[in-house]
Each structure stands twice: as C-alpha cells, then as structure tokens.
Structure 1
C-alpha cells in the first residue's frame, strides 16, 4: 500500500472522529490502525488527610470533655463488646466494674485481646459499637 493511501486513511479517521479503522484489499493486503489513548495529565488532589485529622481532634476533644475516667484502646483492631456473638456483653451502661475486670475484646491480627479496666467504678458510657474498627487511643468507655 502506498503512503498516500495510508495518509488518506488517517485523514478519514480524523474527519470522522474514528478511534480505529481496518481495511482489506482484494489482493489480500490488510491494514488496521488504532489511535493511542490520550493520557490525562490532570491530577486532582483532595485534602483527605486534613479532614481526618480534624475529625480525630474533635473526637479527642469530646472525650476529654467527659467526666470520669476514659478507657482508651491500647491497639488497632476490631472492638467486640461480648466474648461470642450469642453471649451477653462484658459490661453495659450502669455496670459496676473493678480494676482488672474485662471490658471488651479487641481483635488484632486474628488474636483476641481482652481489654481490662484500669479503674474501679460505674460504666457511664460505651463510646464504640460492637464490630467497629478502633485505632490506638480511641476512647472506648467512660468509668466514674
């Protein structure tokens, strides 16, 4: 196929806004052309980290405003309020606990870690829902 015919095919692609074209001549010559996809150089940056940081600060500020002793998560993991799905919760709001009593379980790396109370008193708030992911330092309970 001559260069003029190839140029003509390219012009047809441009004029008709085609992304690909193929041609087969009676003598058995085949040609197929496809435009390369354009690479977008526009990058959109969203300040996600700043928003998360603000939410964490608000959460910590709320925890500090609470009266009583705050039990915080000692690790990252999944919070469970009961030892098994069919069992009762370790503690409820209004429960009286002693130092060393188990308050909940935090699953980290497939290990179940019992979280014990550092305080004696009455549980006035449970700040996390069962099955929720917690970070290191997340407030879990308020004990007065």
Structure 2
C-alpha cells in the first residue's frame, strides 16, 4: 500500500462515523481510532519498527470525562454479581446526551431493566439487569470500547 492510498483511507475514515478501523495485509497492518488517547499506527509485518503518527481525528475535549462513581472505594466496598458484555462495542450510559443515565451507583433495579447500551455495527443493544438488586459499581465509562466478556456493572 502506498502513502496516497493510506492518506485516502485516512480521509474516508475521518469523514465516517466509525470510531475504530483496522486493515491487515501480508505487507502490514493499519489501525485508525477516533477514541481519545488512541493514535494511528502503521506496523509493517517486516522487521521495521512501528511508526506512531498524529491522530486521525481528535475528539472534542469535554470539561470532564465521565468516570465511574467512587473509584477508590468501589474496590473494597463493592459486592455482588457482575454483568458482563455479551459483545464488542461502544458503551452508552444514557439513551441520548440530554437524557439522564440509565442507572447510577446505589440505584435499585428490576430484572430486565436497561442498565446501559452497547453500540455494535450501528445497532444499539440494550443490556438488561439479570436480576433485581442494587447497583454497587459501574465498571465502564461513557463511550468506552468494551470487549466480549468485560465486566460492565456490579449488582448486589
């Protein structure tokens, strides 16, 4: 792949709504990410070292990035069963930016109640509570990319 093809891919990726893109051939691998703190990397399969390049696109900085409540206390106090991710995708803790979060630490939930949404391949997948209980810990933050089997929420 020549530099013009890479630049063209970067422009198309930047104009798209995709958050991450990977492309692998026998010649090398390309990874694009619009997630904060991630950088475009090109790492040929041959003996050459990886090259770090400026981010394809930067996410507009927010005043504060949402973080799980009580991170220091949660490891020693939080109890209960964890709800794990059934798929790979992007986490949304709210139905839309102007709405309230589905759940917060300390909320009582009923079995089947939506805890959060995972977006995968442009499909919004609601993650329901597996049982009645109280949210003791939220283990992910908004717009974080999660893996299959990753812990999301703890319910007691």
Q: TM-score range by the shorter chain?
A: 0.5 to 0.7
Tell me how far apart the structure 1 counterparts of residues 47 and 86 of structure 2 sit (CA, whole Å): 42
**TM-score under structure 2 normalisation?**
0.51
- Alpha-carbon RMSD across the aligned residues, in angstroms, is 2.0
Give TM-score, length-normalised by structure 1. 0.55
1:21-60 aligned at under 5 Å gives the runs 42-43=47-48
Q: What displacement does 1:120 show?
A: 1.1
1:107 matched to which residue of 2?
Answer: 119
1:84 equivalent to 2:96? Answer yes
The count of residues paired between Structure 1 and Structure 2 equals 85
Residue by residue over 1:43-84, the C-alpha shift from the partner in whole angstroms, topping out at 9 and shown as x without a partner, is 569xxxxxxxxxxxxxxxxx9xx6311001110000000000
Check whether the contact 1:69–1:119 (CA below 8 A) recurs between aligned residues: no
Q: Provide the residue aligned with 2:149 in structure 1.
A: 137
In structure 1, the gaps of 5 or more residues are 1-40, 46-62
Alignment match of 1:97 (pick from 86, 109, 128): 109
- Which of the two has greater helix per residue? 1
Tell me which of 132, 135, 147 is aligned to 1:123: 135
Q: Highest CA radius of gyration, 1 or 2?
A: 1
Structure 1 residues 106 and 43: alpha-carbon distance in aligned structure 2, compared to 1, 3 A threshold: same
Q: Distance in 1 between matches of 2:126 and 2:154?
A: 17
